[in-house]
């Protein structure tokens, strides 16, 4: 194709925040590699981008598999000649339990998907981003990573790790042209909220802590991510941007 088009990898792209991010980036003329565990969902998102006239492709797999991040970077380079933007959005909900009752396997899985996956994609993407002389990494953390979250300790710990990862990369890459920031959403509308496994009392508790009195929309998160992935952000790196409807003011 052409390396004059900016290209983004978006993980967790098949629905929710990831799908909204892909649509927003495509509206700005950015080609996309859509990555998700859901092969059909990722393919559908990439197809939407191609229908708009931009290059796009999809990859299916588990973000905790080191081979997937390498394949995604290779796909971006093959698509347009390089990689400019990485949006680490893939994540998973947790099996809700107090720390004392949390199974080790569930804890490990929370960390693998929600933290290790972001580490792997950052590690794979950094050389390609530096080679461009310009790059943006946006990691999706969570308000839970700043506050902790009862009955979701593994998830909260992983998201706290994402914040630390972002701050570390901001320092390490500060003079490379690659800017790294994170967003920390609170409760965002998603399919996960309607699952029977998501406790109603937890949903009500989370909602009660949002001064705006509502859940956020995926499109609102996508707008912030697109901003952080743009030229408009040039002197902020290693920072965490709040998307909590005022919850972070407590």
Strand locations in 110-206 (E): 135-140, 178-185
Residue 247 pLDDT: 85
Would you say residue 1 has pLDDT above 50? no
Q: Give the pLDDT of residue 197.
A: 56
E strands in 51-208: 56-60, 85-88, 135-140, 178-185
Averaged pLDDT score across all residues of the chain: 94
- Are 165 and 208 spatial neighbours (Cβ–Cβ below 8 Å)? no
- Residues with catalytic annotation? 155
> What CATH fold (topology level) applies to the domain 7-241?
Rossmann fold (3.40.50)
For 153-201, the pLDDT digits (tens) are 999 999 999 999 999 999 999 999 999 999 999 999 887 666 665 667 7
Q: What separation in angstroms does the CA of 26 have from each of 10, 78, 100, 203? A: 11, 18, 44, 32
Are 153 and 100 within 8 A, CB to CB? no
pTM: 0.95
Question: 3-37: string of b/e by CB count within 10 Å (b at 16+)?
Answer: eebbbbbbbbbbbbbbbbbbbbbbeeebbbbbbbb
pLDDT at 67 (0 to 100): 99
E strand spans, 95-247 = 135-140, 178-185, 239-243
Write down the pLDDT at residue 14: 98
| 12-23 pLDDT per residue, tens | 999 999 999 999
What confidence score (pLDDT) does residue 192 get?
66
């Amino acid at each position: 194709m052409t390396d004059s088009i900016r290209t983004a990898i978006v993980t967790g792209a098949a629905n929710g925040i990831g799908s909204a991010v892909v649509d927003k980036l495509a509206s700005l003329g950015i080609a996309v590699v859509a990555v998700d565990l859901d092969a059909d969902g990722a393919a559908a998102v990439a197809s939407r981008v191609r229908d708009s006239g931009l290059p796009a492709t999809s990859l299916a797999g588990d973000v905790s598999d080191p081979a997937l991040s390498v394949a995604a970077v290779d796909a971006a380079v093959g698509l347009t000649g390089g990689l400019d933007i990485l949006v680490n959005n893939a994540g998973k909900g947790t099996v809700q339990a107090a720390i004392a009752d949390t199974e080790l396997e569930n804890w490990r899985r929370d960390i693998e998907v929600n933290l290790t996956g972001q580490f792997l994609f950052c590690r794979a993407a950094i050389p390609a981003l530096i080679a461009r002389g310009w790059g943006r990494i946006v990691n999706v953390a969570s308000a839970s990573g700043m506050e902790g979250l009862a009955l979701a300790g593994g998830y909260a710990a992983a998201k706290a790790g994402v914040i630390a990862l972002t701050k570390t990369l901001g320092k390490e890459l500060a003079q490379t042209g690659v800017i790294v920031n994170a967003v920390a959403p609170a409760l965002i509308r998603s399919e996960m909220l309607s699952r029977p496994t998501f406790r109603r009392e937890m949903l009500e508790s989370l909602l009660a802590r949002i001064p705006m009195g509502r859940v956020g929309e995926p499109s609102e998160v996508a707008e912030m991510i697109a901003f952080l992935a743009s030229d408009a952000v040039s002197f902020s790196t290693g920072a965490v941007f709040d998307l909590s409807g005022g919850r972070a003011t407590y």
